[in-house]
Amino acid sequence: MLFFIVFWLYAFAQAQIAPEFFLCEAQLADTAQLQANLIALSDNVLKDLPESEEKRLRTIFRRIFNKYLKHYRQGSTLASVLQSGHYDCLSGTIVFAHVLRQAGFQTVVYETNIHVFLTVVLSNGGEVLIETTDPINGLVTSPMMVARRKEDYIRRFAAYQEQELSHYRSEFQIMRAIPFEELADLQCFNRAVTAYNKKQFVLAADYLFQLQSLMATERGMELMILSLEGILAHHPLTSEEQWTLLDAIEQYKSKLSRLPKWAVYK
């Protein structure tokens, strides 16, 4: 009996997700309920899976899209998925990576300037790419097509650079694998970008301050500089406050100047 209790507790812990994934919600619902919703999602998706590795992967892909990723909406978070079925590339990737890891698959999450996706490393060493915004052709199994998709994500940077100047755009070209846990940080980062684009500079800086790990990244520091400059330009400050912000801006700029802007990390 003790063995089954321990096993159940272990399985329950694995089905949960770190509280940080709900940290930056604008209107945070009960975290316990969100965790319960996620556990129910995982249980339903992973129930009675086929034995074949490829068939298991296809079944998981189909079940997640058929029942849980219902409507694409940019800026959707993990809580949005669990409450309403709204998703985007980031929240969709969180769901897929979490469930696939529970199913025993080895996943690799990739961050780019404007997109997040993941790959699955198969037992034979092959790689499958999952595009979480494409319920029709988002499971890419051909090695040639996987390589082509990755190249396409890099090429999108040029089009991204042509966006409206009033909106945040990174000067860094990013294409790298990141730990699953950093997806929680990216949710906060996206909140900060939305706030900055709306000229809510204090709110943007506040989101960034909530996760100091985010401030070790190029885009975290870059957006913080822009947010602090926005506060300086649009908010009444004392001389001491102005000098404090100016000093912080210079420190961030000094760190950024030592980083390669065009490096692509595979």
Calpha distance 247→245 (Å, rounded): 5
Instruction: Report strand pairing: 86-87 vs 71-72.
Output: parallel
Q: pTM above 0.85?
A: yes
* Average pLDDT estimate for 104-119: 93
Instruction: Please indicate whether residue 156 or residue 262 has the higher confidence score (pLDDT).
Output: 156
Distances in Å between the Cα of 102 and the Cα atoms of 13, 23, 41, 97, 143 are 11, 22, 12, 9, 25
Q: pLDDT for 35-91, tens place per residue?
A: 999 999 999 999 999 999 999 999 999 999 999 999 999 889 999 999 999 999 999
CA-based nearest residue to 149, from 129, 176, 121: 129
Instruction: Please indicate whether residue 166 or residue 143 has the higher confidence score (pLDDT).
Output: 143
Determine the pLDDT at residue 2: 42
Average model confidence (pLDDT) for the chain? Answer: 87
